[in-house]
Chains A and B, each alone.
Chain A
């Protein structure tokens, strides 16, 4: 059973607006969370991460929020750009070793 869930398979957003991607998890032992971005015909690349001791981490246009009590995290992209069109995977770990991934959300940024 999947321990990391991304319930929105796709998201369409206008260029310049905010993209919000959501991720839920069931394993309370997860203590580190990452977001990966994947373009077609390429492997996933690391985007941003957050430790369970924090509730927010920012890197330029990307911010990840963690709500441990709700077992929920979200990725905000502001402002969205055409180059952000990709598949985004949420991932989590409880052992600093293996990653559990969500199903992914395909983001399309419209000009």
Chain B
């Protein structure tokens, strides 16, 4: 059974640009959550999508947005990139919605802002 797939693995962008990250969940999983991991702040929840609807949102500015498609694949977008957006972005999928579900994580996308 294929795991969670995130693309691309690495990205280098400059300030002010925008970026789109992609996540394909495990087959049959309908929930996709996104997390930002930085050395200073640790792992922080960005948002969760279930059946194409945003179910939960973390405390991030509106520059961070996401969506989910009918096949459960998800994308997150960050606009007007700032240096502080440099981080490992992790996607996780689960069968059901909510933080009580065991989540299966992808390898992450490492985003570097120059």
Indicate, yes or no, whether A interacts with B: no
Interface residues of chain A, those whose CB is within 8 Å of chain B, are none
